[in-house]
Structure 1
């Protein structure tokens, strides 16, 4: 397992660069210091990476801040996330045999505040169970010297001799708590040892102040700690990587990213695309046999025709967590190229630390910052333009953006707890747990089920046939933007059909009406758990939302309209709830 720590100076606008560096060095966990991010919470980033952050109160000036970045393969096994303040936060993760607790810190560089900082760290450490493996990461803003004889087991001989009162505070804390500063136990060249550097002036400066500190039960598992000086994130600190030989829950083999192909349904907003789509469907309908067949075959032919016509007209897109995908509007090719040039210039300066190479790097760094600022500004201008001119989707787009900005993103979790409270990580166990939970929830033994009587229809009575007008009215009443069911049919698909194409859906509805049998897709629902409040890993903290087939809903709406015509005259005038054109507001005015 590879674990890193890095003082990034500021994380604002650097999330995507940070993930690229973490992937480049194959990190499983990355502790981050000096994020300057306000508030506390979790953030779902690109490619499934999860960011757990802890900062100052949103009403104060941004300073300090710590965070922990988890690889997608590890994010689901988190047992506890405990943000303490802007300088200390801890996370506990389940391993195969035990639990690993990671404490990310960012120490103050003022000696008067250092003891209070260590007291906070000690309180956090005391809350951890004794059997846990404990790993401290972060910028401790101090030196520890190389007196390994006096501080036997706490430090090794591979550091400078510099030591002051603030440095002794950390050594005393580690000695009392049974901790080891493992950076100092491994001998490396200076370029792979020092974690901070300063250029400019008559003399360059460097020091070792970013540490990896472990508990005694974890010390033998550490095989190396060294600096990756080619990692670049516009900061004066180097990335520190620690290699642990401990068993984790995720498989050793590399898992390929899921590539899910979806149709670009949004293209149907264009009039020309809708016309072409309707024409393609009409051509396929003209080749359909006139004689009605089995309902499953009828539905298969219709669904296949609609999907093929949509794929040909709208084209397809690849979604899901893919390598290199960016979940932001401002990350464009120009920004990517500028950042790539900046990183290349940094590597050139690392190889030859001349004033010319340093000046070139700083120039490209400023240029990248400028392009990012311009791209972000243009992104917001485009957003305003969409709200102003696209009235069709403006309301939905507006509230999506408000929720994203207010919450800062929510961590999606896959792992859940079973009925006894044990954390489940394997995908098969997770699916079985959800199946068990919803089966118990929706099939309570206390519920009494009445036997349904079979409705016999007179098939010879053509006046009961479902008409083209009924299906057309039902399609017009569908709301756009709704999620699809198992058949992947969208409201935009049905709304793009012409009256001639709607005859195909009318034919299928008529077969269902006559035979009393509906396609399997219409009877299948996808249950999606939506987190409400409480522990995300508890099934009871989620509410199940069932996604049904839209053509199936269409048929149900036709039947509901027929039933309403019969039932409506029999309902008393005082009944206002669940009636079209009426509401409880009418009753309130009546009482007043």
Structure 2
């Protein structure tokens, strides 16, 4: 059934000559088996019920069809909202009987009944049920066949990603509402947050540029933050925080004091919030077999908040390197000059 699951229970009920206790025990076991299934699951109970259904449908219209034969045993099906599908399709008499009683004295079948039943909780999945009178295989039961039909499951489309109409941010009213919302929601940074520790010795060894200096007097200014935001490109995908670069530009004046405070806290402690290092990774197919992972390249989307901070540090490093680079050579202080 591919993705669709069904529940099938095959039974052999006690014969009519068995004790009442044995029959009650059988139906208790059958009820326990049905209770194990989810009520939304399609359930099929098939086999020899050793019980009869009747032609009188009064009170049982949902359980049996108009083509039933024999006597009645319907309480169990009514309790569990099951349909006896043998009775819902019109066939000639020989295609209804599933059991024949043979008389050795008379040398012929003297009784017949419909006791091999196909029962389900959703009759829409069965389009035909009948017995095959010519297929007995030297037994008193006849082969019962059913035609099942299942609709092809529709694959659910992936949830659409909510897209922001960033062009409207340039409209005066929208921009004013944005800044007002930010002013109401954003609060002054206070207390500790989860930080990503930075080892200065490891950084120095990696870049081989000597001691990492952390001058607490060199605070990040609002002009540096403005310059970094101005350099950010529009139309770039946001990171896990969902904030595009356009938000920082259009709400710059409102966000500026909070950004300056946050960046200075990160600069003085040589740490950054762990969220800035979290990336959304999107695999892009290149060529070849789509089932091979090496045929994809990954694109990482980082939060723009961390990118603004990176641009500030990068601008400062460029100033330092520019001052130290003279005539194509790196100039060191006397005490930092390499030994030759």
Normalised-by-shorter TM-score class: 0.3 to 0.5
- Normalising by structure 1, report the TM-score: 0.27
Structure with the larger helix share: 1
Q: Could you say which structure has the larger radius of gyration?
A: 2
